[in-house]
Structure 1
Amino acid sequence: MTLAIEIVAKGLQRERQKTGLSLAEVARRAGIAKSTLSQLESAQGNPSLETLWALCVALDIPFAQLMEPEVNRTQLIRLGEGVTVSSEIAHYKAMILSTCPPAARRDLYLLSVEPGEDRLSKPHPIGSVEHIVLMRGKAVVGLIDDPIELAVGDYICYPADQAHLFRALEPNTLALLVSEQN
């Protein structure tokens, strides 16, 4: 589990450009050196959770917004492979799976699924997205044309405004589903 500095660099550049602030001004507001911010925007270094948090405060954005890669299609994160940040002051790591777009609604569901017939879902309203974290068992999940096999701890995100499925491969499969609508 490592921090994907390229995602951080792109996020810092994108968010700083949205504000129209200079490197020097963002660094001043965050209480860090301008050279540190410049290195981070160049995908160099290994920022701490505290440094990233200070930058988010300076940019007036939610923490996870900085870490969110731009995703237009299905997104898969295997257990242990996601973008993580670590604290300098505690044995604490956070793996960001997804941020919530502005004005979106998210509903959470706990799915208990048994092998047998697939759960086929027709397209939901335009802009709908589903996020699933597999908690127990194995399953095939995602768009009907391109489903992906998940193991415990894997995360998948896909556009739910297209036909999709959930197929349990083991008894007592358990998953967390987050349904998002804009």
Structure 2
Amino acid sequence: MTQPIRVIAQSLVRERERAGLSLSEVARRAGIAKSTLSQLEGGHGNPSIETLWSLCVALNIPFAQLLEHQETTTRVLRYGEGSRVTAEHSNYQAILLANCPPGARRDIYQVVVQPGADRLSPPHPPGSVEHMIITRGRALLGLTEALEELGPGDYICYPADREHLFRALEPDTVAIMISEQN
């Protein structure tokens, strides 16, 4: 598993400077320590999905913008490849498969989830939508007040600017997630 900390570090500095915000202000908005943000911008640490999402919300950028450089060439990722991040309190991994070109805000991920701790996601920026397709296993997912059970080939779409959850019901549950932001 490769932690994309170097790309994350460069992206954090670029996006913070683009927004014209200080290190202290981004840390405050994200609800993290200034020293943590400083370490991440320096290319050190192992940030959780929760920390990265908080920084994305604070900077008003799509999640994938922290994980990958924009590319315009043909790209093939074999199963298990890609920039990978893990959740802090659940056995949940997100692997970035593709991000959008400039001006577009759609990112594609492969997620691999194990039963046990649920992946409870706080609301993403307003207008966010997630599309999920289960490719292996079974899961209970969607808005926390309206969870749906899905199996291989099943698709769900929900507003990700509301609290939502992913609960694996079988080991090695795999899904393709498409995240959109308006």
TM-score bracket, shorter-length normalisation: 0.5 to 0.7
AA partner of residue 84 (structure 1): R
Opposite residue 46 of structure 1, the aligned amino acid is N
Q: Residue 50 of structure 1 aligns with which residue?
A: 50
Q: Structure 1 CA distance, aligned partners of 2:102 and 2:5?
A: 24
Kindly state the Cα deviation for residue 13 of structure 1 after the two structures are TM-superposed. Answer: 1.2
- Which residue matches 2:60? 60
Identity %: 61
Aligned-pair CA distance for 1:44:
0.5
Q: In 2, Cα distance between the equivalents of 1:38 and 1:53?
A: 17
Alignment check: 8 A CA contact 2:29 2:58 kept: yes
Larger Rg: 1
TM-score, normalised via structure 1 length: 0.53
Q: Which structure's relative contact order is higher, taking Cα pairs within 8 Å and 6+ residues apart?
A: 1
Q: Which runs of 5+ in 2 are unaligned?
A: 107-134, 136-182
Aligned to 1:9: 9
Structure 1 unaligned residues grouped into runs of 5+: 107-134, 136-182
Cα shift at 1:53: 0.5
Q: Which residue of 1 aligns with 2:91?
A: 91
Q: Secondary structure at the match of 1:77?
A: coil
Normalising to structure 2: TM-score of the pair?
0.53
- Secondary structure at 1:96's aligned position in 2? strand
CA RMSD of superposed structures (Å): 2.4
The one-letter code sitting in structure 2 at the alignment partner of 1:52 is: L
| 3-state SS of 2:98 partner | coil
Cα 1:92/1:66, change in 2 over 3 Å: same
Deviation digits for residues 66-100 of structure 1, max 9, x if unmatched? 21223243434332231111111211100011112
The equivalent of 1:29 in structure 2 is: 29
Q: Could you tell me which residue of structure 2 aligns to residue 70 of structure 1?
A: 70
Instruction: Say which SS state the counterpart of residue 84 (structure 1) adopts.
Output: strand
Distance 2:105 2:82 in 1: 24
Instruction: Tell me by how many angstroms 1:22 deviates.
Output: 0.8
Shift of the alpha carbon at 1:41? 0.8
Asked whether the 8 Å contact 2:70–2:100 carries over to 1, the reply is: no
Provide the C-alpha distance between the structure 2 equivalents of 1:21 and 1:75, rounded to a whole number of angstroms: 34
